[in-house]
């Protein structure tokens, strides 16, 4: 919330947030949230780093890297959370909050085909503008929306001051990715941040290694039968040729013997 308010108060500043979901074939993975504040924001708010409060995030399983300086003088903060199941993935995504809403995840395996289906669903929407970044407890504690005066003075909409990108990488073949764009095998969505909603449904199917080679067993059997038939036929042909040559040789010997008898006579 502090980062967003700083962006609002200073029209030249900008904050870009990216959430990356990367799931491995075994269903485990990571959720990585990266926030990048530009150099103007860092310059205008020198106490930005000191004012960050990440104790709650760490207590809830997030690993924190940074803030670290970027090449252009800004700051980058990276939070990573490991997930071991679809249920945990949904919980972690929901804990991030708006514009990610109603997030759900599932992973099922068909016992007959042994195919595994991975799916993540949800909606990306910022219904209440900047108020969506503050929960009810915070508003009650502060007595209103934090930095409400600065927000009003800035005259900037969320889409003017920040960006929010959501990216998903699931194992298997892509089946569906509603409203998402595939970039190098990763499905990507850009949050509109104007009150409209974006569907985040994505589904993949993992086909077991044996599933793509089910024909190998029968083919191997057929090949073996054909090989045996060929060996039998080749052997029979060789025997036939040998017997024919022997028979021909005997006939030749008999003819020579007859000629010798005729000469003697």
The yes-or-no verdict on residue 4 having pLDDT over 80 is no
Angle value at C-alpha 24, between 22 and 30, nearest 5 degrees: 40
Q: Of the spans 75-79, 130-134, 202-206, 243-247, which averages the highest pLDDT?
A: 202-206
- Mean pLDDT, the chain, integer: 77
Task: Tell me the Cα Rg of the chain.
Answer: 37
Query: Quick count: other Cβ atoms within 10 Å of Cβ 98?
Result: 20
CB–CB of 199/191 below 8 Å? no
* 14 vs 130, more confident: 14
- Number of C-alpha atoms within 13 angstroms, CB side, residue 213? 6
Whether the pLDDT of residue 252 is over 60: the answer is: yes
Q: What is the pLDDT of residues 119-138, one digit of tens each?
A: 999 998 877 655 555 555 65
Q: What is the pLDDT of residue 57?
A: 83
What is the C-alpha separation between 86 and 91, in angstroms, rounded?
Answer: 9
Strands 75-83 and 181-183: unpaired
For the chain, how many helices (H) and strands (E)? 9, 12
59-85 pLDDT, tens digit each: 889 999 978 888 887 888 899 999 999
- Comparing 7-21, 92-106, 117-131, 190-204, the range with the smallest average pLDDT is 7-21
Residue 28 near residue 107, CB atoms below 8 Å: no
């Amino acid at each position: 919330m502090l980062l967003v308010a700083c962006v609002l108060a200073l029209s030249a500043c900008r904050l870009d947030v990216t959430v990356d979901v990367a799931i491995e074939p075994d269903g485990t993975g990571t959720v990585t949230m990266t926030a990048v504040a530009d150099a103007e924001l860092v310059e205008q708010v020198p106490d930005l780093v000191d004012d960050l409060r990440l104790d709650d995030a760490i207590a809830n399983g997030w690993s924190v890297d940074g803030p670290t300086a970027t090449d252009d003088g800004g700051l980058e903060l990276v939070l990573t959370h490991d997930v071991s199941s679809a249920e945990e993935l949904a919980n972690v995504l929901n804990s991030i909050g708006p514009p990610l809403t109603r997030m759900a995840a599932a992973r099922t395996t068909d016992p007959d085909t042994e195919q595994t289906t991975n799916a993540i669903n949800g909606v990306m929407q910022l219904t209440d503008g900047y108020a969506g970044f503050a929960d009810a407890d915070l508003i009650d504690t502060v007595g209103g929306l934090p930095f409400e005066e600065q927000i009003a003075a800035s005259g900037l909409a969320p889409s003017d001051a920040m960006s929010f990108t959501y990216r998903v990488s699931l194992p298997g073949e892509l089946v569906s990715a509603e409203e998402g764009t595939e970039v190098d095998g990763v499905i990507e969505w850009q949050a509109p941040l104007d009150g409209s909603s974006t569907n985040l449904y994505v589904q993949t199917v993992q086909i077991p290694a044996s599933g793509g080679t089910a024909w190998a067993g029968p083919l191997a059997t057929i090949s073996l039968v054909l090989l045996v038939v060929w060996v039998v036929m080749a052997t029979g042909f060789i025997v036939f040729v040998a017997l024919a040559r022997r028979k021909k040789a005997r006939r030749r010997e008999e003819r020579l013997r007859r000629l010798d008898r005729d000469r003697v006579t």
